[in-house]
């Protein structure tokens, strides 16, 4: 995996948006582990973790136990690195949204050319779904995005690292990193998105 500045910036952006690691991973066509791992290494602010890892590392404990480790290192004081980020309820994906709308009633974002193709989670080795010759999207919300220099929709098109990879670039919605149409896809329930697209 080649972590270019662009991709890293994307990661930070999405992370800051409060998206789940898996979601970010889907967007960038990488695994959530990669996302988490990188985020961790980058020192990005941790999100509320569903779990609490302290008293029972089964395997890890066993392995660790075999390592003597220098007792002196334990005395090191550790100032908590808690980030100021507290309220990040998120524009977040409506994962827990009520299911009133039948599948058929899905918004169906017209001109959208499914970016990350929502690759199958099990098919990690899947070849690049890329190939999006016709970026029909930007013409809708912004006829001439290339002239603008302000905020740009950072929805990834294609896979990072591949030749045709780029970001949407259209004018984002206020407060969001995506343009109107991509925001639509961005904030829907995962399940729906999975079978709706493709």
Partner DNA sequence: CCCTGATTCGC
Partner DNA sequence: GCGAATCAGG
Q: What is the binding site for DNA (CB under 7 A)?
A: 1, 3, 19-23, 30-34, 36-41, 46-53, 56-60, 63-64, 95, 124, 190
Cα–Cα distance measured from residue 90 to residue 20, given in angstroms and rounded to the nearest whole number: 10
- Closer to DNA by CB, 59 or 76: give it: 59
In degrees rounded to 5, what are phi and psi of residue 156? -75, 135
CA–CA dist 179, 168 (Å, integer): 8
191 burial level (CB within 10 Å; 0-12, 13-18, 19+): exposed
Q: Please report how close the Cβ of residue 163 comes to DNA at its closest, in angstroms.
A: 18
CB closer to DNA out of 63 and 111 = 63
Rounded distance between C-alpha atoms, residue 189 and residue 198, angstroms: 15
Nearer residue to DNA within complex by CB, 3 or 187: 3
Q: Which is nearer to DNA, 151 or 161 (CB)?
A: 161
Report in angstroms how near the CB of residue 169 gets to DNA at its nearest.
Answer: 25
The count of other CB atoms within 10 Å of the CB of residue 189 is 16
- Shortest reach from residue 131's CB to DNA, in Å: 22
Measured from the CB of residue 148, what is the shortest distance to DNA in angstroms?
Answer: 30
């Amino acid at each position: 995996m080649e972590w270019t500045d662009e991709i890293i910036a994307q990661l930070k952006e999405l992370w800051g948006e409060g998206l789940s690691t898996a979601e970010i991973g889907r967007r960038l066509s990488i695994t959530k582990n990669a996302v988490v791992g990188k985020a961790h290494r980058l020192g990005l602010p941790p999100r509320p973790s569903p779990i609490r890892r302290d008293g029972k590392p089964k395997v890890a404990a066993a392995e660790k136990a075999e390592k003597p480790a220098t007792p002196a290192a334990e005395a090191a004081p550790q100032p908590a690195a808690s980030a100021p980020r507290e309220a990040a309820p998120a524009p977040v994906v409506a994962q827990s949204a009520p299911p009133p709308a039948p599948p058929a009633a899905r918004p169906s974002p017209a001109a959208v050319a499914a970016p990350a193709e929502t690759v199958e989670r099990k098919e990690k080795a899947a070849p690049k779904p890329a190939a999006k010759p016709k970026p029909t999207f930007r013409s809708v919300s912004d006829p001439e995005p290339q002239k603008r220099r302000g905020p740009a929709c950072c929805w990834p098109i294609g896979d990072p690292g591949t030749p045709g990879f780029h970001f949407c670039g259209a004018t984002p919605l206020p407060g969001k990193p995506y343009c109107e149409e991509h925001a639509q896809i961005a904030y829907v329930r995962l399940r729906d998105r999975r079978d709706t697209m493709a």
